[in-house]
Each structure stands twice: as C-alpha cells, then as structure tokens.
A and B are shown apart, each in its own frame.
Chain A
Amino acid sequence: MLEVVIPDIALSLALPEIGLAILVCAVLIIDLFVSLENKSRVGVVAFVGVVILGLVAFGQWGEGARTTFSGFYVVDNLSVFVKVCVLLCTAISILLLLQYAKVEKINYGELYAMLLFSVFGMLVMASGNDLITIYLGLETMSISIYVLVAFMRHDPLSREAGLKYFLMGAFASGVLLYGMALTYGFTGTTSIRGIAAAFSGEGGAAIAQNPVMIFGLILLVAGFGFKLALAPFHMWLPDAYTGAPTPITGFMSVAVKFATVAALMRILFVAFPAMADRWNALLWALTAFTLVWGNVAAIAQTSLKRMLAYSSIGHAGYVLMGVVVSMTVIDGKVTFTDIGISAVAFYLLAYLFTNLGAFGMLILVCRDGYRGDNIEDWKGIGQAHPWAGMAFVVFLLSLGGIPPTAGFVGKLYLFAAAVQTEYYWLAAIGLVMSAVSMYYYGRMIMVMYMENRGESQEVMSFSSAPSLFFALVVLVVATLLLGIFPGSFLDAAKGTVAGFI
C-alpha cells in the first residue's frame, strides 16, 4: 500500500475563494425564489457579498508571502492587491449592470452567477503559485466570460462576439497549455519556485539555452498575449468588446487585465528570471507594436464603443510597458525593480476607475432599442447635460493622461520608471502614442462641447437609475482623488512588491 500523506492546509488563507464559492451558490439558490420582475435583488445580494469579500481579502494584506495547499496557493501583497481591485471592479460593474440588465432584458440570476464565477477564476489566478493553478483559474475566468459576452441571446452582434472570442480564447489556451507542457518537461515541475530552482540548479544554464525550451517560453508568452490582446494577437478584441453587453465590456477590460498581468508577472519574474533577456525582448516588441496599433486604429472609429475597445488595447500596451521596464541587469544579475512593479500596479488601479467610468457613460445613455454608440449623436451633450458632460470629460482626460486625473499620475509614474531603468526608446514611443491618443479623446470632448445638435440627430436621454448614478459619482471622485492625492495609493502600489520576488 502506498503511504498517503495528508498535508497541512491553512484554509483561512483561501477565505476569499471559499467565500466566493458560497456566494455563488447563495446567488443561484436565491434566484429560485425571486420572481422575474425582482431579479435585481439577486444583483444586490451579489453586490453585498462582493463588498464583504473585498474587505476579507483586504485583511490579508501585509504579512509576507504564505503558501498553502501543498504549494499550489500563495497569499502575498501582489495577490491581495489584485484580489481587492478585482472585487472592487466587480462591485462597480454590478452597480452598472443592475439597470442595464433590465433595459436589455437579460435580467436573470444566472447573469450575476456567471459574473461571480469569472471573479472566482480571477482570484485563483492571482494566488496561483503553480502553472496548473494559474491555468485552471484562467480557464474558469475565460469560460464564464465567453458566456457573459454572448449573454444577449437575441442580439446577433452579441452572439457573434461570443463565438469569435471563444474561438480565439480556446486556441490561446491550447497554445498556452503546450508551452506549459514543454516547461514541465525541461524543468521537471510545474511549481513556480520549482521552475526557478531548476534553472538555477546544475544544468540550469543548458536548459535555458535549449531551443525547444525557448519555443515553450514563446508559446507561453503568446498564449498570455492572446488573452491580454497584445498586437498582433488582438484581432478578437474590437469585435468581442463591441458585441458584448456594455457593463460586461467594462468589467472585462479591467478585471481580466488585472488577473492576467498578475499571473504573467508571477510566471515571468519568479519562474523565468534565467531567461529574462529573451522574454524581455519579446515583450518589448509586443508592447511597442500594441501601443502603436491600438492608438492609431482608434483614430478612424466612428463608433464610440469600438473606439474605447481600441483604446483598451493601447492601455494594455502601457501596462505591459511597466512589466518590460521592471527588468534590469545590475552587476550582471537580473533584478526586478520596485519602481517598475509598482508602476504596473498603480497604472492598473488608475485604469480601473477611468475605463469603468468611460464605459459607464455609455451605459448611461442606453434605453430601449438605443445604444448611444455613434459619436455623432453626442454632439452638443456638453451644453444639454452639463453634469454628465463634465463627468465624461474627467474620464476622457484621465484616459489621455492629462492632469489632474488618475491617468496622468499613472502615466507619469510609468514614464519615470521607464526613464530611470534606461528604456528610453520605449518611453519615447509611449509618449508619442499618448499624444496621438489625446487626438481622439480630445475629438470626443470637442464633439460634446463645440458642436451643436444637428437636425437629424437622435435625442439622447440619460438614464436616472440610482445605482448607475451612485457608481458614476464614485468613479469620478476616485479618478480625481487618485490624480490629486495619489500618495497613499502609490504606497499601496509599492507595497505589492514585498514578498513577491
């Protein structure tokens, strides 16, 4: 008989995931007892649950890295940061979703359940200390989001977006899996620390030079690149973002980036520092390509949602820039700078409020049979609805990186990190592309304020749902707060580095 060894498991470390699983079951059961008109109550239950879980996750901050479940699960500052931000994004998205789901007739309890399932996947990815954990979390997140994108079953755009996203996403998962197989073969383990140990042990240098291992690394980076929509793997993103329900688009654009970038950083920084020169060069090229393509393609768009989708691609480029500049070589040894990692964390936080706000404005104008997607329809809104116009201006300025908004501080910190670590070319590309992006954000502001309402223009009415109003107020305040008083948030971003490397 084999010896069965029962390991020591610290269940309290996994409390956010366990709580989330219980919350999903509660949401599904409550859904059974609620009639169709009152389905928003299910959403409210989900909202309350997510806020409580966010506080629980926050309580895990600051105690150093702890692993459990035989090394498959790790809790450190980076994972806590990502979890809190993802849960915050979920809470705001549920608020944005409550009214939209009623208008678009997708107000089912399963909508909130699938949203929570994707959050479960993201939490697992943030805490993954092993390739298997990261892969399973990635798949849970992806599958739930495929369903969410196609959720408006009566809308042909939504169905098509779901199919395209599914095909590209499943293909990317297959590529990623084969990269993991090759990594497992050469290093003998899938644990992140174990892979690092294999590279630094005897024969490690030979493994790092092996062409098949390099091919495996390329496959890993390509798989994650598909998920993050880095150019040239971004083809699915404009279609998926445009066809999906708008609150889901907002949620996807922020939360998926948080979880995927955290998992990518963990794999590249902790498991593959031995091959850092290779993946850094690859990511450099991808980042430059993404920045250029995302920003240039957004110029030609006449649909607001599609323009925001391409702008999301551009912002993914900025986040990756932070990842690239984190790697420096000091005295011949690869080190990962604090300033780079905290730049990534802060930029993601600023991007959370900004992007959710931009999509929130789009949700504000949704009513029965009308989506407010055409940029031309926004002419003169600045005079007709002053408060909404001001809010949108704040979000657009933050997207472009103009003070005194969160986006400005994020980009400032990012470019400072790039210059300090001597990635001058990348910083230059980023700056030029930021200026280019100000063209299409600025054009939106001009359309709202400088142009008058045309004769044949659709009249846009703004929804007056309290949940939507509250969410947008919070987002505007947060965007301005991060821009004017970024101090404590910057410290939080710096704190994510501890225990991670």
Chain B
Amino acid sequence: MAPLEHYLILSAVLFSLGVVGVVVRRNAIVVILCIELMMNGANLAFVAYGRFLDSMAGQMIVFFVMAVAAAEAAIGLAIVVLIYRNRESTDLDEINLLKL
C-alpha cells in the first residue's frame, strides 16, 4: 500500500498539468481535454483520502463528479461543434469578435 503522500503528489501533478494545458493551449478541444485531466486529478485525491480516512464519501463523490464531467463534456463539445460549423476553426485566438 503506497503511502498517502504518493497519491496526493500524483493528483497534484495531474491537476497542475491540466491547469498548464488550459492556460497555454490554443485549440479549444485540447483545452476541454485538459479540464478533464484537472477533474481526474481531483478524483484521485478524493479516492485516496477516502481510503485513508476509511470513509465511503470519497468514492461516492467521484461517482457524481464523473456524471458531471460527462455532462460538461457533452455541452462543451456541442458548443465547439456549433462554432466550428460556422467558422471552420477551433483556434481560440481567432475567435475574437467580442473584443473591443
């Protein structure tokens, strides 16, 4: 059984990689994929804490977070498809009609 710190460091690494991806990448779909990575980092933290605190709540939260992630992925991809259909581009820097 690996000690708790290992799990937490792993989840922190996943989370920060996701944050880096969201901030740096220009392709909208890759940004959404990195948000999924962030949520999985949090999921791992929940499961690890649940195991070490002997509490079922950690695993149950992961269930609900997976449902939320599925819903968000569906909506996000629907919006990206909507934009792509009309502009042939998923590049975030080119989508700038609103900036004054």
Contact = CB atoms under 8 A, between A and B. Distances in A.
Direct contact of A and B (CB under 8 A): yes
Contact of A150 (B8, B41, B79): B79
Contacts of A239: 98-99
A181 B45 contact: yes
A335 interface: no
B46 A184 contact: yes
Interface string A227-269: 0000000000011001100000000000000000000000000
Contacts of B64: 132, 135-136
Given A170-B35, A177-B42, A306-B100, A188 B95 contact: no
A489 interface: no
Contacts of B53: 185, 188
A254 to B, nearest CB: 22
Nearest to B65: A177
A171 B53 CA distance: 28
Contact of A146 (B11, B31, B35, B75): B75
A153 B86 CA distance: 10
A305 B24 CA distance: 30
A190 interface: yes
Interface centre among A146, A153, A182, A184 (most CB of B within 10 A): A184
B38 to A, nearest CB: 4
B29 to A, nearest CB: 11
A132 B55 contact: no
- Contact size range, A: 35 or more
Label chain B's interface by main secondary structure. Answer: helix
Nearest to A177: B42
Nearest to B96: A160
A189 interface: yes
A160 B99 CA distance: 11
Interface stretch (A19-27, A52-60, A161-169): A161-169
Contacts of B55: 188-189
A389 to B, nearest CB: 27
B82 interface: yes
B98 A160 contact: yes
A429 interface: no
B79 A146 contact: yes
B5 to A, nearest CB: 11
Interface string B29-47: 0011001001101100110
3 A-B pairs closest in CB distance:
A174-B38, A185-B49, A181-B45
11 contacts: A146-B75, A160-B96, A166-B76, A166-B79, A167-B22, A170-B35, A171-B35, A173-B68, A178-B38, A184-B46, A189-B55
Given A174-B15, A181-B45, 15 more contacts: A150-B82, A159-B82, A163-B79, A167-B35, A167-B92, A170-B35, A171-B35, A174-B39, A178-B38, A180-B61, A184-B46, A184-B61, A185-B45, A188-B53, A239-B99
Interface of A: 132, 135-136, 139, 143, 146-147, 150, 153, 156-157, 159-164, 166-167, 170-171, 173-175, 177-178, 180-182, 184-185, 188-190, 238-239, 242-243, 303, 306
